[in-house]
Structure 1
């Protein structure tokens, strides 16, 4: 049976790397990201793979509806990857100075959008006994100065995942901490020089593929990356 996946934040970083691996394995993909040009380039690099690329913002309800319609047209999802994420204001502010309006926006992207997209696609995931991978962070469980806003959103996503795993026993739910990766987001947070020493997003893909192949019980998964010198 052909397998179907929806990956958000698929134009670069981990989302793009995972899309490449799944396409090479014959998956049909629905990909989304805010940047249309980057998304189209990422989809084109997948060659003749069955890819539907829909640029847009996952915080937009209308865009989420379009993604859900595309997933339903495939017959439902075997995998939903909530990878799209915002960082919040930079330089990263202390909580005492955090603009509440921007924190609300960050929760909208990092917490409410994944939940809403999950709600729309859950019937198909149930029917196909599919899986959900929510991309988390060590900032969800550790106290790092300046990371309070972002970390709070990831902690909330972790708990949503935790409860979902109990409520939906036929759907595998993993919330994955990929560790530091050399991505634009990390560069925005700590600077491109420091971020350049982190492992590439491609190094995390085998962990996701192992989850799909072995289907362990739902739970928090930590991918341990060694920083290069």
Structure 2
């Protein structure tokens, strides 16, 4: 018998891939539906997990791909219990003075509007299971990192979306969770590429975190996201923005 049916976005690497692996380790009867642009990692997950993992190859800004992902879950398994919105991008990294508005729009399409679309598409089904929406936010939503205006503001908008959903849709719960500073390809990009567009102080801070081995392994926040998707969001924090290591989430942490 199938357990929970969970949608996860951006599953090809980093936190997203760790979420898939953690969910299926914690609950082997669960079925995960994933989406990412790169097919090779999706095939690897499929080869590993068989009928517990299904995928769609595509960009999350393509509404037809989100509809396909949703339709596949309902056609095969008849329900959706939780959605974990993980996919996101950091760039453009630049001062407001130098902002390229077209690049801001592209980031918002990925980091924010695709999630609005995903929620709207899946809501009729997640409502039926009294399910959960879990958003991967960022410390940058409430803190200043130099020249991260696009990224930070998109994550702040995501926090407010969680608040909106929790208040408007009483049959579901929604939570926006910051994962901490995680050892992923985004950190490599900061150290080696876009960090040059940041202040020296902030660029050095990120490089020092790697050098001093203070970056988190992706499975640490992934465990929190996975347990929220599997076990549900506590009523007391429904609609809020919270850090993965907050005391309120102690039962969801490693």
Does the alignment reach a TM-score above 0.5?
yes
Report if the CA contact (8 A) 1:71-1:121 is conserved. no
d(CA) in 1 for partners of 2:9, 2:23 = 14
Residue 51 (structure 1) aligned with residue 53 (structure 2)? yes
Describe the superposition over 1:120-155 as per-residue Cα deviations: whole angstroms up to 9, x where unpaired: 100110000110001100111111111111001111
**Runs of at least 5 residues in structure 2 that lack an aligned partner in the other structure:** 194-205, 247-254
Q: What displacement does 1:206 show?
A: 2.7
Residue 81 (structure 1) aligned with residue 84 (structure 2)? yes
Matches within 5 A, 1:118-137: 118-137=119-138
Matches within 5 A, 1:13-24: 13-24=14-25
Bigger shift: residues 150-159 or 69-78:
69-78
Q: What displacement does 1:210 show?
A: 4.1
d(CA) in 2 for partners of 1:214, 1:77 = 13
What residue number does 1:223 align with? Answer: 244
Report the TM-score when normalising by structure 2.
0.82
d(CA) in 2 for partners of 1:152, 1:101 = 15
Q: What displacement does 1:19 show?
A: 0.5
Across the aligned residues of Structure 1 and Structure 2, the Cα RMSD in angstroms comes to: 1.9
Report the TM-score when normalising by structure 1.
0.90
Q: What displacement does 1:71 show?
A: 2.3
Describe the superposition over 1:188-228 as per-residue Cα deviations: whole angstroms up to 9, x where unpaired: 12339836431111011232244343631212220249xxx
d(CA) in 1 for partners of 2:84, 2:232 = 17
The number of equivalent residue pairs is 222
d(CA) in 2 for partners of 1:11, 1:49 = 18
What residue number does 2:39 align with? Answer: 36
Report if the CA contact (8 A) 2:23-2:227 is conserved. no
What residue number does 1:72 align with? Answer: 74
Residue 207 (structure 1) aligned with residue 219 (structure 2)? no
Structure with more of its chain in helix, by fraction: 2
Describe the superposition over 1:34-82 as per-residue Cα deviations: whole angstroms up to 9, x where unpaired: 1111222233233x34211111100012211211211222212111011
Runs of 4+ aligned residues of structure 1 deviating over 4 Å after TM superposition are none
Secondary structure of residue in 2 paired with 1:133: strand
Report if the CA contact (8 A) 2:22-2:223 is conserved. no
d(CA) in 2 for partners of 1:208, 1:111 = 18
Report if the CA contact (8 A) 2:45-2:53 is conserved. no
**Runs of at least 5 residues in structure 1 that lack an aligned partner in the other structure:** none
Report if the CA contact (8 A) 1:12-1:42 is conserved. no
d(CA) in 2 for partners of 1:2, 1:28 = 7
Larger Rg: 2
